[in-house]
Amino acid sequence: MKNLVAGFSKQLKDAIEIGKKAKLTHSPKPIHQVLICGLGGSGIGGNTVSELVAMEANTSINVSKGYFIPAYVNENTLVIISSYSGNTEETLQCMEQAIKKKAKIVCITSGGKVKEIATAQKFDFIIVPGGMPPRSCMGYSMTQLLFVLQFNGIIGNTTILQLVAAIKLIDTEEENIRKEATEVGAKLFGKMPVIYATTYFEGVAIRFRQQLNENSKVLCWHQIIPEMNHNELVGWREKNENLSVIFFRDKQEYDRNNTRIEINKGVISKYTSQITEIWSKGNSMIEKAIYLIHLGDWISIDLAERRGVDASEINVINELKSELSKL
């Protein structure tokens, strides 16, 4: 897993070349909405992309992380099926429903049943390299989502250029990223992480939480500002130094949100001294997100090493899938 995190930059470069060569076709019907179907490592790209392009996209982009698709899906919906293995049962069921709804379907996968169905039905599909843990392939899925959205006219042509700039940024900052990851990992060791971010960085927060779960083998939670100011903030009532709070920050954040964060820090500091701020770098939202995602991945690796656990091992998930396969 450590080598896969180290190869994130190269993966993004490879993903761009795959996206450029993708053979996609335009929908015969106008696209009125987009639905991305995927879970876990295949679904987090959907969360992140939908947020990052929200201010640019000319239609709504939603994410489905279950067995069912919304009732609004029809022939004017672009449904993107994202399953790294191609065998995710929830995503396959969503795909079946989208077919019945006559939606425009595009698949992103390394193979499996998704590829089989896409080939048989003559759907557009993009094949990414297989054989890796899905969570280590976010660069592939996220990049292909951007290409699919761009091809279908949902977003403009600047996003790929921003992605190229993001690659350059993390290459330049790699040494600093690893240093900061080591510092933050030390602060999280033996603690329960509590992750806070603002609205358009929720995908980053979810990704970090999932990486701490799977790589570091720890429980944690995340909440979003300003929403948490209307509920969770009231829950900070008891002193607990076992909680280690992470705030994802951005210098270009909306002023009211930055003010909220400062007030939140004042409240939370009464109950734990373990508060860390992680600041984004980059000029665009995509650059900032890629930077924070890469930094978060390295933190999860550092914490896994401190805890003496195998970052790649996911036995309990495999056991769950095995039990489900018996039904």
- Residues marked active site are found at 214, 230, 321
Contact 31, 154 (CB under 8 A): yes
Contact 154, 24 (CB under 8 A): no
The residue type of 128 is: V
3-state DSSP assignment of residue 35: strand
Phi, psi of 83 (to 5 degrees): -140, 110
Phi, psi of 111 (to 5 degrees): 150, -135
Give, for 247, the enclosing helix (H) or strand (E): strand 243-249
Q: Facing residues of 35 across strands?
A: 62, 79
27 vs 259: CA distance, rounded Å:
45
Contact 154, 27 (CB under 8 A): no
Give, for 27, the enclosing helix (H) or strand (E): none
